[in-house]
Structure 1
């Protein structure tokens, strides 16, 4: 923290509690709602791209081409994430975490709602798929800037000694979003005929996201910015070119933070996406059986992810993270090796345990990534790592699994792919650093000193 009169490490007593404890739970909720909206959209869009979009937006092509085109719009959401990471990550370090999070939530929410009311090809012709692609691109830009800011919002409000737990708020978003999306889709499927669902029912699922947006905005607008950013801003320490500075001064942390995400992303894609295809097409399970197993696993993750974050606060975070990576890789071989047709209890247990291994990587992940970067560059560094890893990890994993299974006709190459991804994560953890609470504590103390000086100055002027 150059040029800042920060107390030397250990030179002053450290605060045991966050500066703003009243805002802590609001920050946790504000962080969770944004990522939950992201994954709600992820699940709803996946279902619509497979069933509805080929008919509504690409009806002039043959069914296979229509499906491919529909999924290509899905991929646009991943490709555009680095754009959002660069734009909003740097803004988070320049103008503040809160302002960025309000903007990204608005972008994601408005784009999702507009998809829900977008006329089909029959109404506006070629404009329909073009607008769909543009809205999907906007969603991806918003998502790319959302995660880094959401993680900082909850972690920088919380006690830095409990960063693993508080930062896990953003990580609870995927299982929460999946559960809400599948719940909404299940209700619509039961209430409507297939013709009604394709005609208008899918739009309801998109429009429901407005509730999440409204709740998230209500919380975020009432919050102040994080104590860490307020201290940085008070002393004019915002970086002028944060992206360039990250690449020039914190390249190793960026590589470490990017690589550590690959294993969890790939493992999650395996147990929540690929198992649907493998279980139904290869082993002959009913779709409802596999989906139920995934939903049970997601429900467990609502509690396992924050628990894993808390565990990583008590033990070495890299050790907890790395152990889970090894367990996840080994469990993948065991799962496919013993899973057969007509064994639903094993299917459920296997997916639940696989997602538990994922939880013990995903829970500590946000804190690990945040603490790789200096506070001045956290928003930029975290956002870049998140978006880069998403492209090389989660975005291509389902496709790679499908190609490997089709090419070799066995699950073994799929499991090897997961093991390699876990190895990539291990490399990232080895390159990274352990938790450093001193940086946050110094900024918190500096903010307290600044507030005291302002109070004394005001009192002096009053006399």
Structure 2
């Protein structure tokens, strides 16, 4: 149990720190980057350009998924997790040191895009191995709960990122925030990454990967094998993420700009609403992960994506109402429904692939869905709302949820015997080969 608990905490803490880095960029894209790196006469154009660089972090995720997902199945989960943490931490600190457009001109947004790309590569490589770190140390019959450790990372990271920006927005004037305050949020990453490395370097690799090595069952070409032998699982993994991904971008990134522009809220008020919802997710994500171990995992997720698809038509009017109570209700309920979909998601995705291909398959499914869902969401939401009104943006979210329902229908239910049979085979392999 000690090893399970340590793996759970390592997965949770490391992923939280990486998603802090990723989330702090999203918050800055909505609040400060349009003025600092994309100045112009049209605020909407600046916002769209800032969200474009936000999207780069999702577009680059498949690079991390391809590279590090494969390495997770060939070299091990632990090595991947140390490398990805260093990569995203370095990129985030460099963003905090980056001169703005006023100082170095067009070089500033170009450098920002490159560093955002590096962030995305790190996050894309992180998720697959982080999920397996806790999931493969835990009981395969309770994988929903154990795998949720990595799923707590995004709301925890978002809570940290928005919390830092909320404090900065409340303590500083707008000029101070735009001048130097925003850099504090990025530079804090150095301390967080050091803490995450300390935890991860003390771990050994997962029992499942060690059993794969002992039985000679690792794959030499995992990407090719996933595409050739398990395409249905890959499609199910990709589609199942679309609705929750789009909803999360709406509830944690787009709402920051929409509520300030359409509802007349201050930055601190919107950040506070997101903070409350993210704090509740810290408990709801593992709770719904555990619930999916008792009930059918696909059914729990289906109820959640249907709920998101309906609630989005409440969220937009609430965010534009000018009432903080309605804004808070809209965001909190939305993030609670997201937690219901997100808690079981890690287990569902990893269970679509055999143990020898889990890192590769999970990473590909996660990162490709990120491009189709989270990367495009802030851009499409902004454009649709500006051109056609909030109802068109809400329909976009609802359609993404319908596609997720299709993915859940295509997926398979979990079979814990795969891990149990592999664990039983490993001692036999040791006996045959000798000490």
Q: Deviations over 1:399-457 (max 9, x none)?
A: 22222222333x33233222211111111011100011001111222234456678xx5
Residues 417-428 of structure 1: pairs in structure 2 closer than 5 A: 417-428=396-407
Corresponding residue of 1:6: none
1:178 aligned to which of 132, 146, 158: 158
- Structure 1 residues 204 and 284: CA distance shift in structure 2, 3 A: closer
> Is contact 2:14-2:200 (8 Å) kept?
no
Larger gyration radius, structure 1 or structure 2 = 1
SS at match of 1:373: coil
Q: Deviations over 1:161-220 (max 9, x none)?
A: 110001011111111111111222233334444444333322221111112211211111
Stretch deviating more after TM superposition (244-253 or 67-76)? 67-76
Moved over 6 A (4+): 337-340
Aligned length: 434
Give me the whole-angstrom Cα distance separating, in 1, the residues matched to 2:341 and 2:271.
23
Give me the whole-angstrom Cα distance separating, in 2, the residues matched to 1:282 and 1:413.
15
Give me the whole-angstrom Cα distance separating, in 2, the residues matched to 1:279 and 1:55.
18
1:371 aligns with 2:351: yes
Stretch deviating more after TM superposition (180-189 or 245-254)? 180-189
SS at match of 2:408: helix
Alpha-carbon RMSD: 2.4
Corresponding residue of 1:289: 269
1:97 aligns with 2:77: yes
1:399 aligns with 2:398: no
- Structure 1 residues 197 and 91: CA distance shift in structure 2, 3 A: same
Q: Deviations over 1:79-106 (max 9, x none)?
A: 1111111011111111111111111111
Give me the whole-angstrom Cα distance separating, in 1, the residues matched to 2:240 and 2:113.
30
1:111 aligned to which of 88, 91, 94: 91
Corresponding residue of 1:252: 232
Corresponding residue of 1:461: none
TM-score computed with the length of structure 2 as normaliser: 0.92
> Is contact 2:48-2:382 (8 Å) kept?
no
1:347 aligns with 2:302: no
SS at match of 1:434: coil
> Is contact 1:293-1:351 (8 Å) kept?
yes
Give me the whole-angstrom Cα distance separating, in 2, the residues matched to 1:358 and 1:148.
20
> Is contact 1:34-1:146 (8 Å) kept?
no
Corresponding residue of 1:157: 137
Give me the whole-angstrom Cα distance separating, in 1, the residues matched to 2:251 and 2:55.
20
Stretch deviating more after TM superposition (150-159 or 123-132)? 123-132
Q: Deviations over 1:22-48 (max 9, x none)?
A: 221221122122332233223322343
Corresponding residue of 2:410: 431
In proportion to residue count, which structure has more helix?
2
SS at match of 1:112: helix
Gaps of 5+ in 1: 1-20, 459-463
